[in-house]
C-alpha cells in the first residue's frame, strides 16, 4: 500500500472539523495531518504539516476562504477542495473558488448520521483522491481574444465537455469569444446546485449569452447552453433547426450529465457541422462520444497534457481515436472558430 494522502482541514466550525476528521479516519489511505479554524492558523499549519491536499471552508472569520485561496494559489499552489454551505451566496463563492484554481467543491452535510453523511463521506473521499493526484504547474497562459470566424446562420455548432479543472478553462475560453460566435453546448461535471451560479457568472464575464439549458431551448448563434448538473443534455433537430433535449436516466460513463450523451447526439444530429472540444478532467467520459463525432466528420480538439490539471478525459478521447488535434488551452478558442468557419469541419 502506498503512502497515505495527507489532508489538512480548514474550517471555523469545530463540529465540521470533527466530522471531516472522522469521515477520513474510517477510510484507508488517508491521514489528517492538521486542523485550523481560520486562514491565519492555516498558514502556519500548512508550513509545518506540508499536506498533500487541503479542505477549505468558504466563509470564515478574519479572512474569507476566497482571499486565502487566492493567496495559496499565488504563493504556494496546492490542491484544494472547497467545503461550502448550500446557499446562493455559498454557491456563488464556490464557483469563484473553482475559477481561482480549487480542484473541486463539496456541500456541507445537514447532519452527522445516516445515509446523507455516508453519501457525503463517499463524495469527499472521491474528490480528495482526485485532488491529491492533480498536477499544478505554473500559471497557464490565458487565450488571446479570438476573432470572429463565422457568424450566425452557418449551421455550425460547438460541443464542449470538461470535468476537473474545467470551470476556469471554460471561463477563459468564453471570455475571449466574440459576439455572434457559433452556438456552444457545454457539459461540465458539477453538482446541480452550482450550475445556475456558474452560468450566471459566465454570462457576466462573456460577450455571449450564457444560460443553463432547459428542454426545448433553441440552439442559437451567440448563445451558450450549459447542461443542468443532474440530467443529461442532448442535441435534437426539427424543421426549424437545432434544439436541446434534457433527459433523466442513469449515469453514462459514470456521470450525469455525461459528455458522451451530448457528443453522441451531436455526432448523430450535426455530423460534420460540429466542432468538438474536450478539456481537463478525470476518467473517460466523452471518449466514445468524441470518437463518434470524429467519425461523423466533426473537427475535434483535445486539451494537451501540459495544459491539463488532469489529463484523463482528453487522453482517453485521444486513445479512442477521437481527437483530431491536441493543443494547449491558450490556442483552443481560435481553433474552435477557425474550424467552425472552414468549408468543411475536417479541413486543415
Please tell me which residue in 11, 38, 92, 189 is annotated as part of the active site.
189
The rounded distance, in Å, linking the Cα atoms of 118 and 23 is 9
Verify whether residue 13 is a known catalytic residue.
Answer: no
Checking DSSP bridges between strand 232-238 and strand 241-247, what pairing results, if any? Answer: antiparallel
Catalytic residue among 84, 163, 206, 280: 163
Helical H runs in the chain? 14-25, 39-49, 65-75, 88-100, 114-132, 166-175, 195-205, 259-269, 287-295, 313-319, 332-341
Helix or strand run (H / E) with residue 257:
none
Paired with 150 in beta bridges are none
285 is a catalytic site residue: yes
Q: Count of CB atoms within 10 A of residue 61's CB?
A: 10
Q: Which residue among the candidates 285, 288, 294, 307 is catalytic per the annotation? A: 285
Q: What is the C-alpha to C-alpha distance for residues 172 and 206, in angstroms, rounded to an integer?
A: 9
Please say whether the beta carbons of 266 and 159 come within 8 A.
Answer: yes
Q: Is 255 a catalytic residue?
A: no
Active-site annotation, residues = 163, 189, 285
Amino acid at each position: 500500500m502506498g503512502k497515505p494522502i495527507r489532508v489538512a482541514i480548514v474550517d471555523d466550525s469545530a463540529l465540521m472539523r470533527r466530522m471531516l476528521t472522522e469521515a477520513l479516519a474510517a477510510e484507508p489511505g488517508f491521514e489528517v495531518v492538521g486542523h485550523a479554524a481560520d486562514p491565519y492558523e492555516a498558514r502556519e499549519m500548512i508550513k509545518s504539516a506540508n499536506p498533500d491536499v487541503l479542505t477549505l471552508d468558504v466563509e470564515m472569520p478574519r479572512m474569507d476562504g476566497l482571499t486565502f485561496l487566492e493567496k495559496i494559489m499565488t504563493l504556494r499552489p496546492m490542491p484544494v477542495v472547497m467545503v461550502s454551505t448550500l446557499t446562493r451566496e455559498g454557491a456563488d463563492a464556490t464557483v469563484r473558488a473553482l475559477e481561482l484554481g480549487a480542484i473541486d467543491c463539496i456541500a456541507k452535510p445537514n447532519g452527522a448520521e445516516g445515509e446523507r453523511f455516508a453519501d457525503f463521506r463517499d463524495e469527499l473521499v472521491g474528490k480528495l483522491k482526485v485532488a491529491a493526484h492533480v498536477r499544478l504547474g505554473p500559471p497557464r497562459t490565458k487565450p488571446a481574444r479570438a476573432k470572429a470566424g463565422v457568424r450566425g446562420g452557418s449551421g455550425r455548432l460547438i460541443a464542449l465537455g470538461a470535468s476537473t479543472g474545467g470551470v476556469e478553462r471554460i471561463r477563459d475560453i468564453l471570455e475571449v469569444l466574440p459576439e455572434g460566435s457559433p452556438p456552444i453546448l457545454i457539459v461540465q461535471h458539477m453538482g446541480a446546485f452550482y450550475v445556475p451560479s456558474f452560468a450566471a457568472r459566465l454570462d457576466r464575464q462573456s460577450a455571449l449569452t450564457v444560460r443553463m439549458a432547459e428542454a426545448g431551448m433553441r440552439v442559437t448563434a451567440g448563445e451558450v447552453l450549459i447542461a443542468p448538473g443532474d440530467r443529461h443534455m442532448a442535441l435534437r433537430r426539427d424543421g426549424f433547426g437545432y434544439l436541446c433535449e434534457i433527459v433523466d436516466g442513469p449515469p453514462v460513463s459514470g456521470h450525469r450529465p455525461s459528455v458522451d450523451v451530448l457528443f453522441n447526439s451531436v455526432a448523430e444530429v450535426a455530423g460534420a457541422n460540429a466542432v468538438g472540444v474536450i478539456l481537463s478532467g478525470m476518467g473517460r467520459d466523452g471518449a466514445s462520444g468524441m470518437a463518434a463525432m470524429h467519425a461523423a466528420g466533426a473537427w475535434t480538439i483535445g486539451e494537451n497534457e501540459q495544459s491539463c490539471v488532469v489529463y484523463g478525459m482528453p487522453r482517453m478521447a485521444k486513445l479512442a481515436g477521437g481527437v483530431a488535434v491536441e493543443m494547449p488551452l491558450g490556442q483552443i478558442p481560435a481553433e474552435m472558430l477557425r474550424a467552425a468557419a472552414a468549408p468543411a469541419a475536417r479541413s486543415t
